[in-house]
């Protein structure tokens, strides 16, 4: 049976491949992919029996692959973050492994895959117990600690959030700046994508905060935000199409 691994960390690639060779020699790892872009290109022309997917990749989140392709292959997600479990099961998942991988958990997930005769029926059963949509699960407000105070920020008052010097900042439309405990990856799934877009790996911006869009080198875009951001924000050329499509909704 053919297997592909989607993982951007070389050590994690080798660890997973070695574990599969050790416990399931009948599984043949035919391809290792390290990015969303590379995965979309390869999977559009190739098929396997099972996919292992890290969720956070160097150019985005692996869920983006499902936005471009109809993936009918069973997936076992491997990640350092547990907050994506529900969404993972909505994307053909038969397993969800947390890093570092525990041998017994891997064995259990692969054995589960090997025992499933009718994968379509399995997905239908999973979908019945999982909420059909995350549309109503986006946050409406954030509670932020500010010294001895607690500040409540309504989502409608958020201009953008960005990461800088290992801190994550929330900027309001009236130019207040707060440190938040959530990562950019966390916040991407907390904010309504109709109103917010992850313009870069370090920034998620509200549609109302985008003041100027400037064409830049290598077909990327420079985004000018209001209130002014402390760092330069660029939309990479691999995300320009999705960004422009989002703007045009």
pLDDT of residue 96: 81
Please state, in angstroms and rounded to a whole number, the distance separating the CA atoms of residues 74 and 52. 9
* Residue 220, domain member (yes or no): yes
* Residue 134, domain member (yes or no): no
Residue 60: pLDDT band with limits 50, 70, 90: confident
Host domain of residue 187:
141-247
- Residue ending a domain, among 129, 151, 185, is 129
Task: Write the CATH number for 188.
Answer: 2.40.50.1020
Contacts of 42 (CB under 8 A, 6+ apart): 4, 31, 33
pLDDT of residue 134: 44
Contacts of 202 (CB under 8 A, 6+ apart): 162, 163, 164, 184, 231, 233
Regarding whether 123 and 28 lie in a shared domain, the answer is yes
Regarding whether 40 and 6 lie in a shared domain, the answer is yes
Q: Residue 129 pLDDT more than 80?
A: no
Residue 89: pLDDT band with limits 50, 70, 90: low
How distant is the alpha carbon of residue 144 from its chain centre? 24
Q: Which residue has the tokens 């995350």?
A: 134
């Amino acid at each position: 049976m053919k297997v592909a691994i989607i993982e951007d960390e070389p050590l994690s690639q080798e660890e997973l491949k070695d574990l599969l060779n050790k416990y399931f020699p009948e599984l043949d790892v035919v391809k290792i992919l390290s990015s969303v872009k590379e995965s979309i290109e390869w999977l559009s022309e190739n098929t396997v029996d099972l996919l292992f997917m890290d969720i956070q990749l160097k150019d985005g989140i692996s869920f983006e692959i499902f936005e471009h392709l109809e993936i009918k292959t069973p997936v076992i997600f491997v990640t350092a973050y547990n907050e994506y479990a529900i969404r993972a099961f909505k994307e053909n998942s038969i397993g969800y492994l947390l890093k570092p991988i525990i041998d017994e958990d891997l064995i259990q997930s692969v054995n589960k895959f090997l025992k499933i005769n009718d994968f379509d029926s399995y997905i239908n059963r999973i979908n019945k117990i999982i909420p059909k949509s995350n549309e109503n699960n986006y946050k409406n407000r954030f509670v932020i600690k500010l010294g001895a105070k607690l500040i409540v920020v309504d989502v409608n008052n958020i201009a953008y959030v960005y990461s800088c010097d290992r801190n994550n900042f929330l900027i309001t439309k009236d130019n207040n700046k707060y440190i938040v405990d959530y990562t950019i990856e966390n916040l991407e799934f907390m904010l309504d994508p109709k109103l917010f877009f992850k313009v870069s790996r370090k920034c998620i911006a509200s549609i109302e905060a985008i003041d100027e869009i400037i064409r830049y080198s290598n077909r990327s875009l420079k985004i000018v935000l209001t209130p002014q951001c402390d760092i330069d924000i660029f939309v990479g050329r691999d995300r320009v199409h999705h960004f422009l499509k989002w703007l045009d909704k």
